[in-house]
Amino acid sequence: RRSGQYTMNHDHSKKTPDGASFDRSGSQDSLDELSLDDYWKELENIHEARGNNHEERVALVVKEPDEGELEEEWLKEAGLSNLFGESSGDSLESMVFLSTLTRTQKAAVEKRVETVTQTMRKKNKQHQIPDVRDIFRLQNDSKGKVCDGSESSTVRTNEEKTEALNGKKDEKKSSHEDMPFSDTDINLEIPFAEQAANLKDSSMGKICKAGGGDTLLPNFRLPKDKTGTTKIGDLAPQDMKKVYSLALIELTALYEMLGIEFKQQKAVKMKTKDSGLFGVPLLVLLEQDQKKVPGTRIPLIFQKLIAQIEEATLETEGLLRIPGVATRIKNLCQELEAKFYEGTFNWENVKQHDAASLLKLFIRELPQPLLTVEYLKAFQDVQNLPTKKQQLQALNLLILLLPEANRDTLKILLEFLQRVIDHRDKNKMTLKNVAMVMAPNLFTFHGFGSKTIEQSEFVMAAGTANVMRFMIRYQKLLWTIPKFLVNQVRKQNAESQRKEKKDKAMKKLLKKMAYDREKHEKQEKTPNDADVPQGVIRVQAPHLSKISMAIQLTEELKAGDVVARFLSQKSGNVHMLKREEVFLYEIGGNIGERCLDDDTYMKDLYQLNPSAEWVIKSKQS
């Protein structure tokens, strides 16, 4: 940066020569010191704001883990605690889970089980400790093959891997290697770590050249998937839990395949505020907000601050970059704490730049970072991945790993930031400018104490700004659940059902469920309903006047067409429903519940899940 322009509270006098670029990885656009001015100025504003706040903040203590503790915690997070400890014999569910993993995912699990096993042996635990190799030998898929992670499984073709994920052979499909994706296409069918391994094996991995400017970020897009794109929020909670476990394993496998250490941080529990607005844990805040507005998923103060900024105009020059007066911000904070929930706070006194400063303050003051203690370092490390495509893949998995409250709040923030950027011709806030200003607020978390931050600030400035740019630019892609994860969930569900059917008690339960359902639907059924002809699906619409309809499947029939047929019935509750609120759902079979996007080709999906039921309902019900 220009000499002497900004004076930081800590020593940034060891500047690199003029014009030096922050190009630690071949993937990030070069950002010279001049272009980092907004970043350093924002950091200076943050230090000034903290200086005016005379309250001593308690630094969040990150616990130094004991030997094997990180790995043990990782296995618990991945839902694989059955693989070690006293419950290691009761691991049927884990065996089903492991049978759906790819070679790179298995390698990540094996590595951690091995570490935990060795640690337990050292501690002379009395319970039985399984040999890591035995765990993987025990897995048999439905065809009787042994998934032991041996050499033979590491040389499978991409076609075989995809077939394993789908749980069936498809003669019509050609190898994925015969269908090359362009540089801007994101392949969501083959696991990311497997893609990285294939690039490594073939030595054909091309590293994107660095370069400046917003326009140089690739125009990444998702190739059309005929079975439908799955977004976060489309799956039932029990399936999302499986997605979380798989995403953790996949992210770990991807980082390790690319030579990046993946370690979750763990915060020591500390006393936090149990009421108020600023410095309150997200979940506590939402709990008190839901008493005011039932069902709200975003903190009310966060929503109000964004609305306040937008109420004026997003064309204000320097929006988000120009700070409010620090003393005024402090007074507004105190007044909001006292009057916000009473509804007596006078918002007319809040200037636009003050509202923007309060929004950033809210993010910084969270007792734990919005990107979480566990994954903040992993988000920062995205900058070290070799290619932009791999950086995007890692961010996609990290978004899936965030707790719901954090993820929902981040989504609202990123959508707002994009709206600011949409007015860049007037407000002069380009994608790069906004990323520079917001990165210190999300990545330089006060709770870790000053030492960690100050020593790494200068090094990570350009990198975290680039991660911020990625999150804003590709936010729609990041909220997509990769098809390979959905396929693995389908396979887990199918394997579990197969095992459950062998249990007599489950059979009795299924009979009772079938009887209850038959009794419930008796009046709705016609004599031919039980015998739906081949190539026809029966779609239920319990909330609409026409309860059910037989739909003939064709090559071109889409989910949106099915919904349109029901809504064309001009009677009952149809007129009360908005088209954009009504969706077709895939329920049961090899999935819990999945909301279908309108462009889903029904025949292709039916072939993937022939046992599913099809229900039309609104997303709220």
Torsions phi, psi for 595 (to 5 deg): -80, 125
Residue 28 predicted with pLDDT over 50: no
Closest CA to 393 of 490, 483, 486, 477: 477
Q: How many angstroms separate the CA atoms of 111 and 99, rounded?
A: 17
* 363 domain residue, yes or no: yes
pLDDT in tens, 49-76: 776 664 445 555 566 666 678 888 898 8
CA dihedral 385, 391, 394, 395 (to 10 degrees): 140
Strand 591-595, strand 582-588: pairing: antiparallel
Residue 47 or 87, more confident? 47
211: confidence class by pLDDT, cuts 50, 70, 90: very low
**HSE of 570 in the Cβ direction (CA atoms, 13 Å)?**
0
Specify whether 440 is located in the same domain as 312. yes
Predicted confidence (pLDDT) at residue 8 exceeds the cutoff of 80: no
Of residues 468 and 176, which shows the higher confidence score?
Answer: 468
Identify the residue with better confidence: 260 or 264. 260
Residue 158 lies in a domain: no
The pLDDT assigned to 591 comes to 96
Residue 114 pLDDT: 87
Q: Is the pLDDT of residue 523 over 70?
A: no
Helix (H, G, I), strand (E, B) or coil at 589: coil
pLDDT band per the 50, 70, 90 thresholds, residue 520: low
Name residues whose C-beta falls within 8 Å of residue 503's C-beta, 6 or more positions apart in sequence: none
What total number of domains does the chain contain?
2
d(CA 238, CA 240): 6
Does 435 share its domain with 329? yes
Same domain, 293 and 439: yes
Higher pLDDT among residues 485 and 212, named by residue: 485
Instruction: Assess if residue 205 is contained within a domain.
Output: no
CA-based radius of gyration for the chain? 27
The mean pLDDT of 423-439, rounded to a whole number, is 95
The verdict on 344 and 427 lying in the same domain is yes
φ, ψ for residue 120 (rounded to 5)? -65, -40
> Does position 350 have pLDDT exceeding 80, yes or no?
yes
Residue 30 has pLDDT above 90, yes or no: no
Share of the chain above pLDDT 90, in %: 48
Whether 242 is covered by a domain: the verdict is no
With 50 as the cut, is the pLDDT of residue 427 above it?
Answer: yes
Q: What is the reported pLDDT for 525?
A: 44
State yes or no: pLDDT of 619 exceeds 50: yes
Distance CA 481, CA 460 (A): 29
What is the pLDDT averaged over residues 19-27? 36
**DSSP for residue 481:** E
Q: Which residues are registered as beta bridge partners of 221?
A: 185
- Give the residue with greater pLDDT, 216 vs 346: 346
> Lowest-pLDDT range, 261-265, 284-288, 509-513, 617-621?
509-513
Measure Cα distances from 596 to 85, 191, 228, 602 in Å: 40, 22, 6, 10
Question: Are 162 and 189 within 8 A, CB to CB?
Answer: yes
Q: Quick check: 566 and 539 in contact, CB under 8 A?
A: yes
| pLDDT-wise least confident of 67-81, 226-240, 386-400, 550-564 | 67-81
Q: Are residues 477 and 592 in the same domain?
A: no
Q: Which domain holds residue 594?
A: 534-620
Q: Say which residue, 317 or 570, is predicted with more confidence.
A: 317
CATH number of the domain at 567, please. 3.10.20.90
Domain-located, residue 425: yes
Query: What pLDDT does 65 receive?
Result: 65
Scored b (16 or more CB within 10 A) or e, 444-478 reads bbbbbeeeebeebbbebbbbbbbbbbbbbbbbebb
CA distance 599 to 29: 35
CB 447 within 8 A of CB 367: yes
Residue 273: pLDDT band (50, 70, 90) is confident
pLDDT at position 93, please? Answer: 72
Report how far residue 326's alpha carbon sits from residue 357's, in angstroms, rounded to the nearest whole number: 9
| pLDDT-based confidence at residue 529 (cuts at 50, 70, 90) | very low
Shared-domain flag, residues 406 and 308 = yes
Q: For residues 371-394, give the mean pLDDT.
A: 93
Lowest mean pLDDT among 79-83, 192-196, 356-360, 403-407: 79-83
Which tops the pLDDT comparison, 619 or 257? Answer: 257
Average pLDDT, stretch 196-204? 77
At 263 the pLDDT is: 83
Other beta carbons within 10 Å of 375: 23
Domain membership of residue 423 (yes or no) is yes
Whole-number pLDDT of residue 518: 64
Q: Are residues 295 and 364 located together in one domain of the fold?
A: yes
Q: Are residues 299 and 418 in the same domain?
A: yes
The contacts of residue 122 (CB under 8 Å, 6+ apart) are: 67
* Residue 619, φ and ψ in degrees, nearest 5: -70, -20
Quote the mean pLDDT of the chain.
Answer: 78
CA atoms within 13 A on the CB side of 33: 17
Please check the confidence at residue 514 and state whether its pLDDT lies above 60.
yes
Looking at 144-153, 177-186, 212-221, 529-538, which range is the least confident one?
A: 144-153
- Residue 88, pLDDT > 70, answer no
pLDDT band (50, 70, 90) for residue 479: very high
Residue 7: band (very low, low, confident or very high) from pLDDT cuts 50, 70, 90: very low
Instruction: For residues 424 and 297, state if they share a domain.
Output: yes
12: pLDDT strictly greater than 50: no
The whole-angstrom separation of Cα 545 and Cα 434 is 49
Is 497 in a helix, a strand, or coil?
Answer: helix
What is the rounded CA–CA span in Å between residue 16 and residue 26?
A: 19
| C-alpha pair distances (Å), 449 with each of 56, 94, 235, 319, 372 | 12, 39, 38, 29, 15
Res 129: pLDDT: 55
- Could you tell me the CATH number of the domain that includes residue 296? 1.10.555.10
Question: Pairing relation of β-strands 613-618 and 536-540?
Answer: parallel
pLDDT at 24: 35
The 10s digit of each residue's pLDDT in 570-606 is 555 555 667 778 899 999 999 999 999 999 999 999 9
The answer to whether residues 319 and 435 belong to one domain is yes
Q: How many other CB atoms sit within 10 Å of the CB of residue 283?
A: 11
Would you state the pLDDT for residue 76?
87
Q: Are 472 and 324 in a shared domain?
A: yes
Do 614 and 473 sit in the same domain of this protein?
no
Dihedral sign for Cα 398, 402, 404, 406, please: negative
Give the largest Cα separation in the chain, rounded. 85
What residues pair up with 357 in beta bridges, in sequence order? none
Is 129 within the bounds of a domain? no
Q: With beta carbons less than 8 A apart as the criterion, state whether 601 and 225 touch.
A: no
Q: Is the dihedral of CA 317, 320, 323, 326 positive or negative?
A: positive
The answer to which of 2-16, 430-444, 469-483, 565-579 has the lowest mean pLDDT is 2-16
Flag whether 233 is in a domain: no
